[in-house]
Amino acid sequence: MTKTVGIVLFPDFEELDAMGPRETLGMMARISGGQWRVMMVWEDGEPVRAFLGTSIVADHSFADCPPLDVILVPGGTGTRSEVDNEKLIEFIRDTGANAEYVVSVCTGAFLLHRAGFLAGKRATTHWGAIGDLKALGDVEVRDGERWVQDGNVITSAGISAGIDMSLYLVSQLTDRRTAANVQKMMEYYPQPPELVEAPA
C-alpha cells in the first residue's frame, strides 16, 4: 500500500521551505518502487502564489485530500495571517492527528502550535522568529539546532534547514542507506562560500 506525504501550501509560503522537502521526499518516493508518493495540498486546490512569486499548482484541496502518513507545513511570511485561517488549522489538526509524522519548516512551527502539536514539546524555527516562539510560553525552544524531533513531531530551522531535516526524515521513514542515496541523487553536499555574516 502506497503511503503519502502531503505538503500543505498557503499564500506567501516560502518557496524553499516547501520545495526543498518536495525534492528530498520526492526523490525518496521515486526510488521507493511505489511505496511512497508526495503531493501538494491547499484549501481549494487552486494554484498558490509563494512569497517570491512562484505559483504552485496543488494536487488536492482539503476536501479531496487522501489520508496523509506525513504532513509537512512550510513557513514564510504567510504564516502571520494563516495562523488565523480556521480551515487551514483544522486541516492540519485533523490530518496530523492520524499521521505518522507531523513536520514543519521555519515559521510553519507557528501553524503546528496553533493546531495543538507543539505545547509542551521541544521545537525550533527560523532564527528571526525564535523570540516569538519562546513568547508562546509552552514550547521548549531549541535555538541553534537545524531540526528538533519530539515524538512524532519534527520542526526545523529556516529555509535550507528543511532539506537537512527532510533527509533525516527519509532515514526515519525508510533507512539510512536510502537517505544517503537520496542525498547523492540530489548532490546535496553543501560547500557555501565563506562570507562575512550579516548583522542580525
**Is residue 66 situated within a structural domain?**
yes
Predicted confidence at residue 167, as pLDDT, reads 98
| Distance separating alpha carbons of residues 75 and 124, to the nearest angstrom | 12
In three-state secondary structure terms, 92 is helix
Predicted confidence at residue 104, as pLDDT, reads 98
Predicted confidence at residue 200, as pLDDT, reads 67
Average of per-residue pLDDT values in the chain = 96
Q: What would the mean pLDDT of 41-57 be, rounded to a whole number?
A: 95
| pLDDT value at 198 more than 80 | no
**Is residue 200 situated within a structural domain?**
no
Q: Which of 70, 106, 112, 130 is catalytic?
A: 106
**Is residue 161 situated within a structural domain?**
yes
- Of 100, 42, 106, nearest in space to 71 by CA: 100
**Is residue 71 situated within a structural domain?**
yes
**Is residue 194 situated within a structural domain?**
no
Domain count, the chain: 1
Q: Sorting pLDDT into bands at 50, 70 and 90, what band is 77?
A: very high
Look up the CATH number of the domain holding residue 179. 3.40.50.880
Let me know the angle formed at the C-alpha of 82 by 79 and 87, rounded to the nearest 5 degrees.
145
| pLDDT value at 173 more than 70 | yes
Q: Which domain holds residue 72?
A: 3-186
**Is residue 43 situated within a structural domain?**
yes
Question: 82-115 pLDDT, tens per residue?
Answer: 999 999 999 999 999 999 999 999 999 999 999 9
Active site residue 106: yes
